[in-house]
Amino acid sequence: MSDAMLELDGLVRHFDGVRAVDDVSFSVERGKVLGFIGHNGAGKTTTMRILATLDTPQRGDARIGGYSVVDAPEQVRRITGFMPDYAGVYANTTVTEYLDFFARAHDLRGETRRRAVDTIIEFMGIGELRDRDVESLSKGLKQRVALGRAIVHDPEVLILDEPAANLDPRARIEFRTLIRELAGDGKTILLSSHILTELAEMCDAVAVIERGRILATGTVQEILRGVRQRRVLSVRLAAADERIERFLLEQCVSSGQKAQIGVGGLDSVDHQIGLVDSEPDRFDHVLLPQGFQRREGADDGLAEVFGRC
CATH code for position 28: 3.40.50.300
- Which of 227, 255, 271 marks a domain boundary? 227
In this prediction, residue 240 carries a pLDDT of 59
Q: What is the pLDDT of residue 241?
A: 62
Amino acid at 105: A
- Eight-state DSSP code of residue 49: H
Residues 58 and 186 in one domain: yes
Q: Which of 227, 250, 273 is the last residue of a domain?
A: 227
Contacts of 77 (CB under 8 A, 6+ apart): 52, 53
How far apart, in Å, do the first and last CA atoms of the chain sit?
48
- 158 and 282 within one domain: no
Cα 288 to chain centroid distance, Å, stands at 33
Can you give the residue range of the structural domain that contains 102? Answer: 4-227
> Is 246 found in the same domain as 216?
no
Query: Which residues of the chain carry a pLDDT beneath 70?
Result: 1-2, 226-309
pTM for the predicted model, two decimal places: 0.72
Q: How far is residue 263's CA from residue 282's CA, in Å, rounded to a whole number?
A: 20
pLDDT at 165: 79
Backbone angles phi, psi at 30, to 5 degrees: -60, 130
Pick from 168, 201, 227: which residue ends a domain?
227
- pLDDT at position 197, please? 74
